[in-house]
Structure 1
Amino acid sequence: MIEQHHLNIKIVNQRQTKHGDFRRLPNGQFQITINNNLNPHQFLLTLVHEIAHHVTFQKYGRVQPHGKEWKRTFQHLMLPFLHPDIYPTEILTPLAHYLKNPKASTDSDVKLSLALKGNKAETGKSFIFEVPLDSIFLFKKKRYRRGSKRKTRYECLELSSGRIYLFNQNTEVTIYEKQ
């Protein structure tokens, strides 16, 4: 697909808000960037996601970035990869469910996100759902107290401001231990 569509692929340092992106460069060429911290399953899914943006642009011109045209294109491009030789069963099932109506970010699908991470948080971190109620945790250098779960997200109190924030279930945080 990379050769077929004449894409420049660039591996970049981890970004907090996205796994990859697609853009047209000033010289008219197209570039996809992908974070360097992704495992092979996340990498492939992100690569196909971004190639779907390119194919959608070539076929339809400027449309909604994650609209119906992109969704159909992404689903079509992912079909050959929905195979147990490529994705293990523990990822394949949530991936197939996600692809019924793909969102802009795989992280918005908690089951898929956790499966892609092997249901393990980064070393030294915990998923927010693993943090006990009323415990203090760190996220982006700020301290929070974990509150109750709403429908899908956790209500957490940011201690210095007193403001309430909502955290996705798969957010990775560090449990706070006093020094």
Structure 2
Amino acid sequence: MKKNYANYIPEKAIPFVQFLIEEHHFTLKIVDQRQSKHGDFRKLPNGQFQITVNNNLNKYQFLLTLIHEIAHHVTYQKFGHVQAHGKEWKTVFQHLMLPFVHPEIYPKHILPLLANYLKSPKASTDADVKLSLAFKEFSKETGKSFIFEVPRGSLFRFKDVTYKRGNLRRTRIECLNTANNKVYLFNQNVEVYEE
């Protein structure tokens, strides 16, 4: 099992992750990139538990996503069915992340951003624009840009649909779908292809 994930996380995190896997009894699968999520936790029909994490994440994103999903598993074990990203999950996630918020595991400039995110973690790490941008410097070049980097009025592609970038609302950006002329709201750090 150790070999399966060791290349995907920071080296100093391996003992902590190994402990969590052994302690909480689940299968970890590393899967091809999915558009809609970085990771997933589920109870399988046979009663066993499985966590999946995308293989395209850099080691810092991968670790955070893995602990996010382990927190779902631990929350389910402790509380049963509760709100997916509710107070129980947030508390468990914060607790599980404590050993990893360390300069031997995460780069020093990411630690304050990570600590800020963990004050009230969201369903997706991508909801935190600053943390996403900090993680991007460790990712392979994909040719994508964050939507907030696209100039207003410019065209971009997302899931093979062309949009025109509009105004920033409080936390999201208005974007016009050029095919159906409907306006959609995008998180600022969605990755898109500029045209």
Query: What TM-score, normalized to structure 2?
Result: 0.85
AA paired with 1:170?
A: N
Q: 1:39-90 CA deviation, whole Å, 9 max, x = no partner?
A: 1101111111111111111111221111111111110010011101101122
Q: Secondary structure at the match of 1:154?
A: strand
Correspondences of 1:24-173 after superposition (within 5 Å): 24-118=43-137, 122-173=141-192
CA contact (8 A) 1:121 1:172 kept: no
> Structure 1 vs Structure 2: percent identity of aligned residues?
69
Distance in structure 1 (CA, Å) of the matches to 2:142 and 2:52: 25
Which piece of structure 1 moves more, 28-37 or 137-146?
137-146
Q: Flag as ranges the 4+ runs of structure 1 deviating above 4 A.
A: 119-122
Distance in structure 2 (CA, Å) of the matches to 1:120 and 1:75: 24
AA paired with 2:181?
A: G
AA paired with 1:126?
A: S
Q: Tell me the equivalent position of 1:7.
A: 26
AA paired with 1:138?
A: R
CA contact (8 A) 1:94 1:112 kept: yes
Q: 1:1-23 CA deviation, whole Å, 9 max, x = no partner?
A: 10111110011111111111111
User: Post-superposition shift, 1:121?
Assistant: 8.5
AA paired with 1:148?
A: N
Q: How many residue pairs align between the two structures? A: 176
Structure 1: which 5+ residue stretches go unaligned? none
How big is the alpha-carbon RMSD for the aligned residues of Structure 1 and Structure 2?
A: 1.6
Query: What TM-score, normalized to structure 1?
Result: 0.92
